[in-house]
């Protein structure tokens, strides 16, 4: 089967979205990473990249909010 063009661009956009999702409060970047993973998994048959982007897209939205919640709780108790 011939490789489809644009795979490298999708992989780049996926990694960029995951990195931005960890450092910005917007849920938009995590959603983009999840969608890129879904497209890579279904249309481009890159199952490994697709699953990684989907999992990291979800985690990149949950982990920063949990860390922020824990830091706020710690700061309230400390001061």
Note the pLDDT of residue 6.
83
Note the pLDDT of residue 51.
94
Note the pLDDT of residue 3.
63
Residues in contact with 37: Cβ distance below 8 Å, sequence separation at least 6, in sequence order: 14, 49, 50, 51, 52, 53, 54, 55, 57
Looking at the structure of the chain, the number of domains it has is: 1
Note the pLDDT of residue 22.
83
What is residue 14's three-state secondary structure? Answer: helix
Where in the sequence is the domain holding 64, given as residue range(s)? 4-78
Note the pLDDT of residue 71.
94
**Splitting the chain (79 residues) into consecutive groups of 10 residues, what average pLDDT does each group show?**
77 92 84 94 89 92 88 89
Note the pLDDT of residue 1.
46
């Amino acid at each position: 089967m011939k490789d489809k063009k644009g795979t490298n661009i999708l992989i780049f956009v996926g990694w960029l979205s995951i990195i931005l999702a960890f450092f910005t409060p917007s849920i938009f970047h995590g959603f983009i990473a999840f969608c890129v993973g879904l497209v890579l998994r279904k249309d481009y048959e890159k199952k490994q990249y697709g699953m990684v982007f989907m999992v990291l897209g979800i985690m990149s939205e949950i982990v920063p909010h949990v860390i922020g919640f824990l830091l706020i709780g710690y700061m309230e108790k400390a001061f």
